Amino acid sequence: MILAGISDIIDPQALLRDFGAIGLFLIVFAESGLLFGFFLPGDSLLFTAGLFASTGDLSTPFPLLLLGVFLAAVIGDQVGYAFGRKVGPSIFQRPDSKIFKQKYIQQADKFFEDHGAKTIVLARFVPIVRTFAPILAGVGSMRYRTFLTYNIVGGLVWAVGVTSLGYFLGDSIGEENIDKYLLPIIFVIIVVSVLPAIIEVYRHRRKTARALTAAEAELETQRLHEATEE
Give the pLDDT confidence of 183-217 residue by residue, as tens digits: 566 556 656 555 665 666 566 567 666 666 666 65
d(CA 168, CA 61): 14
CB–CB of 69/46 below 8 Å? yes
Identify the domain containing residue 28 by its residue range. 2-229
Backbone angles phi, psi at 141, to 5 degrees: 55, 40
**Residue 2 pLDDT class (50, 70, 90 cuts):** very low
How much is the pLDDT for 72? 95
Mean pLDDT (whole number) for 164-192: 65
Dihedral of the alpha carbons of 200, 202, 205, 210, in degrees to the nearest 10: -110
pLDDT band at 125 (very low <50, low <70, confident <90, very high): confident
pLDDT number for residue 124: 86
Contact 138, 82 (CB under 8 A): yes
Query: pLDDT category, 3, cuts 50, 70, 90?
Result: very low
Number of domains making up the chain: 1
Average pLDDT over the chain, rounded to an integer: 76
How would you label 72-99 residue by residue, b for 16+ Cβ within 10 Å and e otherwise?
Answer: bbbbbbbbbbebbbebeeebeeeeeeee
8 A C-beta contact, residue 44 and residue 51: no
Q: What is the mean pLDDT of residues 161-167?
A: 90
**Higher pLDDT residue, 141 or 30?**
30
Closest CA to 27 of 161, 120, 130: 130
Q: Please give the model's pTM, rounded to 2 decimal places.
A: 0.70
CB 31 within 8 A of CB 131: yes
Tell whether the model's pLDDT for residue 171 goes beyond 50: yes
Q: How many CB atoms lie within 10 A of CB 59?
A: 10
Considering only residues 191 and 111, tell me which one the structure prediction assigns the higher pLDDT. 111
